[in-house]
Structure 1
């Protein structure tokens, strides 16, 4: 049986990240009403703009369309960045400075890229701390979100196969 380290990427350990590094994530995700309405219901968000098309029909915000819940939007951006940035994380330490800059509607496709803001030691010798800034863009290349994420990442020297 192989080691657990074979289940994750080989270029996303603590040592692989340097301050200033930019990462363009390969995948995009088209937002459907499933993500938006289901999660709104699950977290008890009762704002009608997230699930009532009739109420939104005459609203200028969102172009008269249902507007996705911001928590869904930034979560999708975090998810698009996860494989490249935190696949080898031991812990999520913080999400800060969340900015939602424009509405996202059903049918919009989101893309992400990330920047490494800071790297540093951890209390554990087998891990280090990395702070990323994740950016989300829609299909028209308009920025929709920005999130700072701090994670405790495995050190390749301790966790990767030799």
Structure 2
């Protein structure tokens, strides 16, 4: 795995910024806890939309564990991460298909997806409406985009939650 020092969402983000800067668990802790903590909730949301399979892209998939879970349940799922280091981590740990880089740079055909997942991604975007337009172009008729954003009191940091 590579780690470019200019890779903001790479190794330093997960092992330094997340822990020291935000007071959140590091990547390896998340690998262990997400299956019990976050994924049951996310899977319920996916099931509540009526999906039990389908061509699925999780954008900002982190370590790739949810992509792995979806694949084990029969989804044709893949992930997208900005960080080459994190995309490599997901490929090596879970053997899941990963895209790396910006969404518009990926070889994903228009109307080729049934479901796009965006969990805690929107707050990182400079142009969220433009990004959502790109997502809508990729979703087939009858498909869905499921997004989740944090609900944090104004001016409140992670250490205060």
Fold equivalence (TM over 0.5):
no
Q: Return the structure number with greater relative CO, CA threshold 8 A, min gap 6.
A: 1
Q: Which has the higher helix share?
A: 2
Larger radius of gyration: 1
TM-score by length of structure 1 reads 0.24
Q: Which has the higher strand share?
A: 1
TM-score by length of structure 2 reads 0.24
